[in-house]
């Protein structure tokens, strides 16, 4: 499996200029046809965060579901989940969406998966000024603070990237061969949203569920993101588990992609 990853990484590195061209194309297509373009990257997660904030803090008055300030807590979760959801949804269909180019060119086919994760990752980075704005506001009014554990944020970025590449390499060829995979992915993502500590903290879950939540790789990713703002959220065990699960998924995804690639090329 490690041989597959090494070979695929070398292939992607040799075609890095082409990869970057495809990423820029994706971003241009996404923003060029919209009058407000980039602002949708901010509006969508902000709207979702506002809904959950009202539901949990105004309607249900569940002050203990997340650390305070809850708006900052939930914005981090929603922004990260948006990157995850869009990446998984689009990487699952990456080979089908570009079937003609996948079939007719000699480019590394992994490129079509990685390019989606990178493009969505850039959109995630472009949405971070929203997070920075909330953090500055709450620090200014004395309701929040930023600490040295912010250095864990880039760790979360790397882990989430590797996780999504692994899932994409696993799902892309399977989706070509089994068309119902896209429907299964949509259902799994709906369930995954509530099985991930996005709108609640792990501390708010029953003791019996905390260990299970720790094995969700996105739990460790979110704790790495939130550590600089909510130091009590930092759980090294969850981050290590996230790294292990992400690494395993990357190995499995790489192996499955390589084994199914000939069948995929025949199918498309």
What's this model's pTM, rounded to 2 decimal places?
0.90
Asked if pLDDT for residue 213 goes beyond 90, the answer is: no
The closest of 152, 148, 158 to 236, measured between CA atoms, is: 152
Average pLDDT for 181-194: 93
What pLDDT score does 171 carry?
96
Q: Which residue has the tokens 């929040």?
A: 144
Q: Which residues contact 85 (CB under 8 A, 6 or more apart)?
A: 189, 193
Percent of the chain past pLDDT 90, that is, above it, reads 48
The residue ranking higher by pLDDT, 147 or 105, is 147
How many other C-beta atoms lie within 10 A of the C-beta of residue 137? Answer: 14
Q: Is the pLDDT of residue 160 over 90?
A: yes
Per the CB < 8 A criterion, the answer to whether 127 and 77 are in contact is no
Distances in whole angstroms, Cα of residue 192 to Cα of each of 48, 56, 128, 169, 223: 16, 19, 23, 19, 16
What is the share, in percent, of the chain residues with pLDDT greater than 70? Answer: 94
First to last CA, the chain: 25
For residue 31, what pLDDT is reported? Answer: 72
* Interacting residues of 113 by C-beta distance below 8 A, sequence separation 6+: 91, 94, 95, 165, 168, 169, 172, 257
Q: pLDDT digits over 238-268, tens only?
A: 999 999 999 999 999 999 999 999 898 888 8
- pLDDT range class, residue 37, cuts 50, 70, 90: low
Q: How confident is the model at residue 89 (pLDDT cuts 50, 70, 90)?
A: very high
Q: How many CB atoms lie within 10 A of CB 264?
A: 21
């Amino acid at each position: 499996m490690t041989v597959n990853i090494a070979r695929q990484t070398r292939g992607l590195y040799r075609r890095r200029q082409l990869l970057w061209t495809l990423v820029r194309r994706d971003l241009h297509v996404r923003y060029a046809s919209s009058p407000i373009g980039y602002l949708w990257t901010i509006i969508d997660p902000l709207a979702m965060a506002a809904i959950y904030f009202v539901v949990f803090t105004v309607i249900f008055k569940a002050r203990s579901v997340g650390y305070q300030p809850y708006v900052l807590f939930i914005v981090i979760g929603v922004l990260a989940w948006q990157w995850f959801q869009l990446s998984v949804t689009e990487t699952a269909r990456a080979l089908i969406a570009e079937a003609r180019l996948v079939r007719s060119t000699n480019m590394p086919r992994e490129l079509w998966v990685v390019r989606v994760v990178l493009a969505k990752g850039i959109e995630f980075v472009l949405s971070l000024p929203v997070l920075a704005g909330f953090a500055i506001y709450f620090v200014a009014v004395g309701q929040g603070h930023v600490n040295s554990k912010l250095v864990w944020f880039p760790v979360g970025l790397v882990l989430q990237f590797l996780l999504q590449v692994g899932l994409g390499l696993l799902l892309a060829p399977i989706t070509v061969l089994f068309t119902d995979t896209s429907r299964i992915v949509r259902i799994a993502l709906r369930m995954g949203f509530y099985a991930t500590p996005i709108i609640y903290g792990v501390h708010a879950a029953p003791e019996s569920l905390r260990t299970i939540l720790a094995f969700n790789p996105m739990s460790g990713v979110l704790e790495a993101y939130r550590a600089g703002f909510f130091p009590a959220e930092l759980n090294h065990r969850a981050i290590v588990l996230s790294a292990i699960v992400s690494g395993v998924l990357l190995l499995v995804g790489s192996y499955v992609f390589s084994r199914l690639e000939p069948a995929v090329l025949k199918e498309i």
